[in-house]
Structure 1
Amino acid sequence: MTDERSADSPPAPNGWERAERMREVLAVVVLSVTAILTAWCGFEASKWGGAMSIEFSQASAARIQAADYASTARDNQAVDLSIYELWVQARATGDTSLAEYVEARLTPEFAVAFEDWQAGGEALRSPFAEPSYVPEGTADAEDESARADALFAKALESNQRGDDYALLTVLFALVLFFVAVSERTRMHWSGWFLLGLGIVVAAVGVVILVTFPILV
């Protein structure tokens, strides 16, 4: 009975066959993990690309808003200039009543600069040269311009992060190539060499991957 069972059972694999089976199992594991990592990198590259598009759109909108505020500031400055010209004419002709009437109707922003100009002995050519003169809309234009610059810089950063993830997919594709070729080679040592090379490249890719920010 014992001899018949021994004759029917398959022969025990030798060391070379066990090594080959181990290499095949390891190759399957590396391929599976690399495929998941490649898909994850593609997902992140897509997410960062979407964030970049949104931030570029927001930066463009902020630029338009800044231009609107700057236009408002120029319009207000034109109004102040017209009022100031009328005041200069009244003063030149000695029309004190008209000069006082104009002064009472200065815009708040120009009134501050006008008072500073007179307090300084009218040393500057006009109140418009006073640092305190800031037409309405100027501060808002500067704020929106700074916001647009920040959004544009953020969009460039998101673009770079998306590119980094895209490049990492190329690295993992190289891993898939090495492991796939290792399964097709007939030489025992070359199969292990290619598999080991794929594992090393995959390890490098994972180390790089963990340093990247995640956007979900």
Structure 2
Amino acid sequence: MEQSARPARPQSEAHELVAVILLSLVAVLTAWCGFEASKWGGDSSVAFSEASAARIEAADFDSQARDARGFDLAVYSQWVVAQAGGDTALAAYIEDRFSPEFAVAFDAWVADGQRETGPFKMPEYVPPGTEQAAEATARADASTKDALDFNEKGDNYSLMTVMFALVLFLAAIAQRGTSVIATRIVLGLAGTLALIGLVVLFTFPIRV
């Protein structure tokens, strides 16, 4: 006489139900982490691009300031030669051809009793492009800082993706458990990791 079919075990069914629920939940969380990692990675790339553009702009302004400084230095050198030779008329003529920025520094230098070695040492001397270069450099530094911050946030979400992948692996293993105790242990570990990951996710910023 054939043996009747073994009745379904309630514990086994419960374990399978828990595993399916855990798999479904973690699959959603994994997809969410991937989405957030992608968004933060995109923001990081944009910020790095903005930083690069700002640094190129700063380099252009620095070049402009160097050129202006070189011109002022050449004119001032002629003034020094004229003064040394006692040619006051030529010196006055050269002074009239000072750039506006250098003229301000020159007047401040003279008013200060020429204590500094030259007008270039005066704080009043700000060749064109200097301030713009500083502003562009500041923007570049800020964008770089933002890019690194965005990149770190994306890495955090990527790390959580790996953690949830481990949960998926454990939940899948639990469905092939050889004993009730082993299944419970693996499911408990998977559930604990999933709960920890969910709590950690609540501390992460969201980028939509």
RMSD value over aligned CA atoms?
1.6
TM norm structure 2: 0.91
Larger radius of gyration: 1
Equivalents in 1 of 2:207, 2:99: separation in Å? 49
Look up the SS of the partner of 1:184 in the other structure. coil
In the alignment, structure 1 residue 31 sits paired with structure 2 residue 19 = no
**Residue 56 of structure 2: which of 56, 59, 64 is its match?**
64
What is the match of residue 97 of structure 1? 89
**More displaced 10-residue stretch of structure 1: 144-153 or 65-74:** 144-153
C-alpha displacement of 1:41: 0.7
Cα deviations across residues 31-79 of structure 1 (Å, max 9, x unaligned)?
A: 1010000011111111122222221111111111111000000000111
What stretches of structure 1 of length at least 5 have no aligned partner?
A: 1-12
What is the match of residue 68 of structure 2? 76
**Residue 142 of structure 1: which of 134, 147, 152 is its match?**
134
What is the match of residue 50 of structure 1? 42
Ranges of 4+ aligned residues in structure 1 off by more than 4 Å: none
What is the match of residue 209 of structure 1? 201
**Residue 188 of structure 2: which of 196, 208, 215 is its match?**
196
What is the match of residue 6 of structure 1? none
Query: Aligned runs of 1:102-141 on 2, under 5 Å?
Result: 102-141=94-133
Amino acid aligned to 2:41:
G
Equivalents in 1 of 2:83, 2:89: separation in Å? 9
Aligned residues: 202
